[in-house]
Amino acid sequence: MLTCYQSYFIYRIRVSRHLTAPLSLSGKDKIDIIMKYSMKRQFAFIFITLITGTILLCLILNSTLLGTYYLNKKQNALVSAYYSINEASKAGDITSEEYDIELKKICEKYNIQVLVADGESEAVKYSMNDPRTVLKQLFDNIFLGVDEEGLLINTADYKMRVVEDYRTQTEYIEMWGMLDNGYLFMLRSALEGIRESVSISNHFLAYVGLVAIMVSILLVIWLSNRVTKPIMELAKISERMKELDFEAKYAGDDKNEIAILGNNINELSEALEKTISELRTANNELLKDIERKDRVDERRREFLSNVSHELKTPIALIQGYAEGLKEGINEDPESREFYCDVIMDEASKMNALVKNLLTLNQLEAGNEIINMERFDVTALIKNYIASADILIRQKEISVRMDDYEPVYVWGDEFRVEEVFMNYFTNAINYAGGDKIIDVKIRRSDGRVRVSVFNTGSPIPEESVAHLWEKFYKVDKARTREYGGSGIGLSIVKAIMESMNREYGVINYDNGVEFWFQLDMA
């Protein structure tokens, strides 16, 4: 018993912790929080911010660095062309057709003007495009000199700078110097196109960016729905689990982390349902253990007294008719058969009485384990009514029951069926007037109330308080007529108290209603 009491106190501590926990948020508050901190909104904000930031960064870098990058590429192209021309001039084939084609490819690719001239004779040795302007600029740079602070490159072999043509207001990058064979050279390329290229590039990038943002919005809506939908499903399942509803299961068939979480929640739901069932069973056993010890002696004395009283009449009848048979009071076959029928009938009643008394004694003594499990009480009631169909038709009774949906409750399914059987049997035996039995199932505040009403005479008020006592009979003659022992409602009382659930009876002008309650699952 010490272990049971310790377990009971641990259970009570858990219950008290549950009762003192913070109040749950209302449905509206939860919706507001979900909308405020929705992963969908967070995904959208992060994704669109990244796309927009990336596009803005590209625009800034394009505006600030593209010109410098383009200028460096031009410088490298000019230097590469210089080395190519210098190598050709040393080999003496600068004027060859093969080299002319190769050099044209370089010049057209990078938009370069080339001029090679003899410094002494001022004769043009090689030229692409109009050589006059370039030749004058070459001699001015070499013989008149330039401001060296504005040079991009200044070496012994060549120099490079950016210059503006005063006539066309066009900027050029120029490279001039002396080849190894003594010829002067100038390479020149226009820079004006870079500004327009940067502007076109930025406009194009802006248009592409707007399209990318719109596409990203559609993508993030689709992706966020795909990601958050199973998460919201898991949230709803956990919400139902919090209310001890373990019917909801995650049904996703993906192989990702969310599916793993969903399967784990399904397993957790099954484990919780099993554990709660075991806890309820254990709790009922503990509560019964606390009250059992003080009632055992009293019940034993009461049991012996009532059994003696109930068995007195059938034993006397059996003894009387048996003596009559032995003494041959009536020797005709019909009388002997009648005497035998009476003896068998009374023996059968005694047998039923003993069985019911044993069941009642086991329940009241607490030796019967009440298995608290989750089951559909609607199905239980419908199945029993179907099994009693023959008796209902024999009594010419009309049974009414709405087409209820499945209603899950906590209780001992076998014992609950026994309670309903006693109510329904009483209703059949005592139905009068229109001979109607009305069965109802009502749900309210987490409880399920099952009631059985039968038309007929109401129970006298002075008898209502004694209905649940063993061997109490309102109408003794009628009870004996259908073979009742007066302990059916006592069994109902014992079963309902063993499950710590409420039960009762209500009188109406046109009949009586018996009811019992169970916890909704």
Secondary structure string (H, E, C) spanning 369-383: CCCCEEEEHHHHHHH
pLDDT, position 135: 64
Q: Which amino acid is at 347?
A: A
Residue in the block written with tokens 């008796």: 391
Of residues 431, 482, 474, 475, the one with CA closest to residue 452 = 431
Give CA–CA dist 184/143, Å, rounded.
11
pLDDT, position 269: 79
Contact 498, 411 (CB under 8 A): no
For residue 362, the SS3 value is helix
Which residues in 260-276 are b (16+ Cβ under 10 Å) and which e? eebeebbeebeeebeeb
Sheet strands side by side (includes 112-117) = 124-127, 112-117, 184-190, 170-178, 158-165, 151-154
pLDDT, position 82: 86
Give CA–CA dist 88/99, Å, rounded.
8
Contact 288, 317 (CB under 8 A): no
* Strand blocks (E) in 72-140: 112-117, 124-127
Backbone φ and ψ of 112, nearest 5°: -115, 140
Give CA–CA dist 177/113, Å, rounded.
15
By DSSP bridging, strand 112-117 and strand 124-127 are antiparallel
Give CA–CA dist 356/487, Å, rounded.
7
- pLDDT mean values, one per 10 residues, the chain (521 residues): 44 43 49 55 75 80 77 85 80 70 75 77 61 66 70 86 77 84 82 70 80 80 75 76 73 71 79 83 83 69 66 74 74 75 76 72 72 94 92 92 94 93 92 93 94 93 85 59 68 90 94 95 84
pLDDT, position 30: 53
How far from 422 is each of 290, 358, 415, 443, CA to CA, in Å? 28, 16, 11, 22
Q: Which amino acid is at 197?
A: S
pLDDT, position 514: 96
Q: What angle do CA 293, 298, 304 make, to 5 degrees?
A: 125
Give CA–CA dist 190/171, Å, rounded.
6
Structure tokens at 508: 């109406």
Distance of CA 58 to the CA centre of its chain: 42
Count the neighbouring beta carbons within 10 Å of the beta carbon of residue 472: 17
For residue 439, the SS3 value is strand
pLDDT, position 33: 52
pTM for this predicted structure: 0.41
